[in-house]
Every structure is written in C-alpha cells, then in structure tokens.
Amino acid sequence: LSSIGEDVDREGLEKTPARVAELWSYLTSGYAEDPQLVLRSALFKSEARDPIFVHDITYYSVCEHHLLPFFGSCQIAYIPDQVIVGLSKIVRLVDIFSRRLQVQERMTGQIADTLQEILKPRGVLVLCEGSHLCMMMRGVERAQTSVTTLASRGAVESDEGLRNELRSVLLHRTPVTKALR
C-alpha cells in the first residue's frame, strides 16, 4: 500500500492487512479440503439409471494469472451406475475446486474427473459459465463477455448423442423458481 502512495496508518487502512489475509485464507480454502473424501462421505447404493441434473451452482474463484475474481455458475449432470451421491456434496465439490487459484477450464475438468473417479457413473457432463474480472477490468475491458466450458467423461464423452441430449437439458431448461410462478 505504501508503494502506491497510501498512508498505511490512516484509519481506513489500519486493519486492511489483516482483512486481506483473512480474505485470501477464505478464497483459497479449497486447498485444505479433500474433494474425494467429501464425495465418499455421502455415497449411497441406488438403482437409479436416469440422468441426475444439478443446476445453478454459484461459484466464486480467483484467476491464477491476474489474481482477480471470476464467478458464475455450474450445471452438472451424471448418469448413475449403482451409486448416487448426496446432492449437497456436488455443491461442496464445486466450492472446493473454485476456492483455489484457478482457470475455469481446469476447474471444470477437475469437477468432472472427481465425479467420474469417485461415483463411477456411466457418464458425467459439467458445464461452467463465468464472468472474468481480468477481462472486464483490464486488457480487452469487455464487461459483457462470458466464458462457457464443458467437460464430459465416461459414456457422455464417447456418445455424441447422449452428450448433446444432456447439454441441451443443462442449457435450455426452465428454472424451478420460474415454473412455480
């Protein structure tokens, strides 16, 4: 702060170093959690064979290139094969990977890989959409630009028809909150 000419002793900045340290501890808290253990803590045998969709999982992350936030939502589909997972654990999985220094592309793949490895479903599709402050505030300065990343595993990766069907549901759905109005 002093290198940019700020008076670090003024009232508004006195506690800033401690606040920033606490903030970065929270923003990178995903390193302290094991995503595999989180999923394994809520696995259940199931005869379910149809796709399970989890929509609108909000995330906040930090771009590893510029240390600026990016944020958005993830949509996740998986086709179980004898095992399902508690739905809240899918949300926690997104939190764990987003609360690290990240790039959206890797985060999307890490979520898909972990679901595939632990649940061993017939297939997984993860779609993440994000707005990146590194593009909005600097560089190209495009406030309306968003980024969409996809990761497919298992049968969803190898079967184009299945992948397209799941992607269509993830992209073109009526949110429950709108349907209830």
**Percent of the chain topping pLDDT 70:** 96
CA dihedral sign, ordered 171, 110, 52, 125: positive
Tokens of 6: 């700020």
Angle between helices 104-119 and 87-98 (to 10 degrees): 140
Q: Which helix (H) or strand (E) holds 71?
A: strand 69-79
Q: Judge whether residue 176 has pLDDT over 60.
A: no
Q: What is the pLDDT of residues 78-125, one digit of tens each?
A: 999 999 999 999 999 999 999 999 999 999 999 999 999 999 999 999
- Mean pLDDT over 52-60 rounds to 97
Enter the tokens of residue 73.
């939502």
> Tens digit of pLDDT for each residue in 13-36?
999 999 999 999 999 999 999 999
According to the model, what pLDDT value does residue 151 have? 98
Residue 145 has pLDDT above 90, yes or no: no
Would you state the pLDDT for residue 83?
Answer: 98
Q: What is residue 177's predicted lDDT score, i.e. its pLDDT?
A: 53
CA 52 to CA 19: how far, in whole Å?
40
pLDDT per position as a tens digit, 31-44 = 999 999 999 999 99
Please answer whether residues 30 and 97 qualify as being in contact, where contact means their C-beta atoms are separated by less than 8 angstroms: yes
Indicate which residues carry an active-site annotation. 63-66, 104, 132, 134
Q: What is the pTM of this model?
A: 0.92
Whether pLDDT at 179 is above 60: no
Match 């959690």 to its residue by tokens.
Answer: 33
- Structure confidence at residue 75 (pLDDT): 97
Average pLDDT over residues 63-73: 96
Please say if the pLDDT value at position 181 is more than 60. no
Domains in the chain (CATH in brackets) are 7-179 (3.30.1130.10)
The mean pLDDT of the chain is 93
Angle at 59 between CA 55 and CA 62, to 5 degrees: 150
